[in-house]
Chain A
Amino acid sequence: MEERFAVLQLSGCSGCEVSLLNADDWIDNRRLLYMPLVISSDDIPQVDTLLVTGAVYTEDDLFRLRAAVRHAHHVVAVGTCAVSGGVANLGSRDEVRELFLDSMERRNVPRLLGKSRGIDTVVPVDRYLTGCPPTPELFMALLFSPESFSAPRMVCAECGRKKTRDRPDHLVGFHGGMLDPDICLINQGLLCIGSSTRAGCRAPCPRAGHPCVGCRGPSDTFIERSSDEWLEGIKRVFAGLTDIAPEEVDTGLRSPQFSLFVFQFADYTGTPRDKSKVF
């Protein structure tokens, strides 16, 4: 019997769904049974694989996630929000409290939980499909041929920019001036962490001139270690290629845009994710 799957969307941006819609080979097989973005159906039927996108952020998310996993053999956390709570974790807890208090004034809406959480804080997860969002190619590979998918170890190997002997002594930020289209972004003074980020995305961001921010999470070398070890690894890369002070790199890595992704596996449960589960 062909494999059936469903897509459950919790608090997120629909970007994962929009990406999945571009991976349309599943249409011929009619295997997609539930996905409220494009299919009107009230309940999740029995499926082999449940893809969960978005974070657990409202009491409604909590209820729907717990109910949905009862109908699925395998549960996949898709995208940064489902892996770690994602972008809603930017900012301090005080600000989240402010939101919570604001929602108290509105009646009959699902209440916010105290923190935006990844789904494995609520239900067991069989697989993690990382990326913000994962590419259509990764969706297809996960759904139909996870064993035969192969990618280099890190984004750096997919990028194609050339390394030079240029050693910048400061980070230039994203908005300094024109970039060379062919030279490694690190040689041009950008905080790019493609050297240790899980590959498979084909490096669209660094190719377009934006540093890799690590949305796919750490490569297998670091996935089962603490995020401090990943941060040290990144700093070693910068020490090898630049004269930028390690403190400057560290501050950059702890800024919201990077920390959002760098710390996605480093966290609340204290248990490292088995690298065989991370796709």
Chain B
Amino acid sequence: MATLTVPLSRIEGHARAVINFRGGEVLSAHFQATELRGFELLIQGVPAEQVPVLVPRICGVCSTAHHLAAVKALEDACGIVPPPAAVQIRELMMLGQLIQNQATSLFLFTMPDFSGVEGQPSIFHLGDEHANIAPRALAIRRLGTKLITLAGGQFIHPVRAVVGGVASGLDPAAMDALRRELTDGLAPAMELVDLNWAMFEGLRDRIGTLGDDEPAYYLASVYRGHSYYGSSIRVLAPDGTEADSFTARDLSDHLELRPIEASYSDGIMFRGQILRANSLARLNLLPEMGTPVADGLLARFRSEWGYPAHAILLFDLARCIELIYCLERAVELLEKDLTHAELRAPCYSMEGEGYGLVEAPRGPLIHHYVISGGLVEQARFVIPTQYNILAIERALEVAARRYITDAGINLELERAVGRVVRAFDPCIACATH
């Protein structure tokens, strides 16, 4: 048996793909996470009120999602309902998180694979013809960071959400300025999306596939007009019918955790079936987005690739639609009064067991705490990348079969491995936590 190990870059964290084969026969493919910090143990004994600002350190890419999942879990434990304006400020944080993440994934992580110039190490090396892409992409990405900063306080690890609501309202002048910036950002974002879409079609023509993997189940916690704040989780069957629906609290009755021997990340299955979460899952679970420009893109997407869409590389186009949606949705929310409204319900003691769910960039994220005497007795995290781990492995195996044959190993394999993994945009710091 021969083993091919492909180191991975342009993803969050440390991971590698390992493909085992004999002659032209692919035996197995693995996706291995090679880092671990151990947050479920580290957070034990910590005062519950400190948790929302410690857990963002699980991941600097998805920090907002952890900040809010923690706050929601503690509110669930204490039976506190935050005021509507506080929820809207939190929704703005999530929209900022999604803008930042989808722009990073689309432009910094995958665009070098799509550009048509093979072997480009990064978006900063696309050559003179595309030299202006990187600054434009970073400018769109920065809109997300600005929104996180405005709504969340700190620029990477937010601090504004507290149990019961938010610590303070938003400055109306800053809201107004950012609303104008986001409005003005829509056109340049659409230009980049169009460019990405064209590169994407070029890639499909060049490699002759958008992914040969079979259809799968999809999972997300979204509804029309949502702001990634999380609701109940729904599972879609490959034929587009709803297969299951449950709350964060009941997750373990509906999904199965699968430890993976040579990885620090576990995987998650649905009734023994492969699951997919992230952008394509959300699109497959939404009738429409709820904002005009994004809905135009979604109609185009569905007319070209049908419903539900299954090809793996479509995750990237789904991210394009979400990027535009988040810009539009954030502009709507920034028109509200988030300065003087009631922002906080009081909380005097923390006790009990709670679950918090948000729709993080990579899927439904759940924090689960048992609080005793104000301290964390037990913590458990269900991480979106874990839903996709087994889907990544199956897709890697399919890609390996395409490029490892009796004729030999096609050198396209290494690039295919990168494309497959990046389509799922895995986050290893989160997955291993």
Closest Cβ–Cβ distance, residue A58 to chain B (whole Å): 7
Chain B residues near A39 (CB-CB < 8 A) = 9-10, 121-122, 124-125
A208 touches B167 (CB 8 A): yes
Chain B residues near A88 (CB-CB < 8 A) = 37-38, 42
Chain A residues near B149 (CB-CB < 8 A) = 204
Of A90, A96, A132, the residue contacting B157 (CB under 8 A) is A132
Q: Which of A1-42 touch B at CB < 8 Å?
A: 9, 11-19, 21-22, 24, 27, 30, 32, 36-42
Task: Check: A135 CB closer than 8 A to any chain B CB.
Answer: yes
A96 touches B156 (CB 8 A): no
B10 touches A256 (CB 8 A): no
Task: Check: A103 CB closer than 8 A to any chain B CB.
Answer: yes
Q: Which of A230-270 touch B at CB < 8 Å?
A: 255-257, 260
Closest Cβ–Cβ distance, residue A115 to chain B (whole Å): 12
Interface locus among A122-130, A170-178, A220-228: A170-178
Chain A residues near B246 (CB-CB < 8 A) = none
A260 CA to B55 CA in the complex, in Å? 13
A257 CA to B49 CA in the complex, in Å? 10
Chain B residues near A209 (CB-CB < 8 A) = 153, 159-160, 166-168
Residue of B nearest to A13 (CB): B60
Closest Cβ–Cβ distance, residue B45 to chain A (whole Å): 7
Closest Cβ–Cβ distance, residue A216 to chain B (whole Å): 12
Chain B residues near A257 (CB-CB < 8 A) = 46-47, 50, 53-54
Chain B residues near A15 (CB-CB < 8 A) = 56-57, 59-61, 63, 156-157
Of B46, B56, B429, the residue contacting A256 (CB under 8 A) is B46
Task: Check: A205 CB closer than 8 A to any chain B CB.
Answer: yes
A92 CA to B261 CA in the complex, in Å? 26
Q: Which of A18, A36, A178 has the most C-beta atoms of chain B within 10 angstroms of its own C-beta? A: A18
Chain A residues near B21 (CB-CB < 8 A) = none
A109 touches B124 (CB 8 A): no
Q: Which of B45, B60, B134, B142 has the most C-beta atoms of chain A within 10 angstroms of its own C-beta? A: B60
Task: Check: B162 CB closer than 8 A to any chain A CB.
Answer: yes
Chain A residues near B100 (CB-CB < 8 A) = 18
Q: How large is the interface on B (under 10, 10 to 19, 20 to 34, 35 or more residues)?
A: 35 or more
Residue of B nearest to A87 (CB): B57
Task: Check: A108 CB closer than 8 A to any chain B CB.
Answer: yes
B9 touches A95 (CB 8 A): no
Task: Check: B35 CB closer than 8 A to any chain A CB.
Answer: yes
Task: Check: A162 CB closer than 8 A to any chain B CB.
Answer: no
Task: Check: A107 CB closer than 8 A to any chain B CB.
Answer: yes
A38 touches B153 (CB 8 A): no
Residue of B nearest to A258 (CB): B50
Residue of A nearest to B123 (CB): A38
Task: Check: B34 CB closer than 8 A to any chain A CB.
Answer: yes
Closest Cβ–Cβ distance, residue A71 to chain B (whole Å): 17
Task: Check: B301 CB closer than 8 A to any chain A CB.
Answer: no
A14 CA to B9 CA in the complex, in Å? 13
A9 CA to B428 CA in the complex, in Å? 13
Chain A residues near B344 (CB-CB < 8 A) = 177-178
Task: Check: A210 CB closer than 8 A to any chain B CB.
Answer: yes
Chain A residues near B46 (CB-CB < 8 A) = 90, 255-257
A260 CA to B46 CA in the complex, in Å? 12
B60 touches A14 (CB 8 A): yes
A179 touches B263 (CB 8 A): no
Task: Check: A165 CB closer than 8 A to any chain B CB.
Answer: no
- Given known contacts A16-B60, A109-B32, is B153 in contact with A210 (CB within 8 Å)? yes
Task: Check: B108 CB closer than 8 A to any chain A CB.
Answer: yes
Chain B residues near A210 (CB-CB < 8 A) = 53, 153-154, 159-160, 167
Task: Check: B58 CB closer than 8 A to any chain A CB.
Answer: yes
A90 touches B42 (CB 8 A): yes
Residue of B nearest to A181 (CB): B168
B49 touches A173 (CB 8 A): yes
- Given known contacts A24-B135, A106-B263, is B35 in contact with A208 (CB within 8 Å)? no
B168 touches A133 (CB 8 A): no
Of A19, A90, A173, the residue contacting B156 (CB under 8 A) is A19
Chain B residues near A109 (CB-CB < 8 A) = 32-34, 36, 262-264
Chain B residues near A205 (CB-CB < 8 A) = 153-154, 159
B346 touches A177 (CB 8 A): yes
- Given known contacts A21-B138, A175-B49, is B157 in contact with A87 (CB within 8 Å)? no
Other 6 A-B pairs with CB < 8 A, given A39-B124, A109-B36: A22-B155, A32-B124, A109-B264, A132-B157, A133-B60, A209-B168
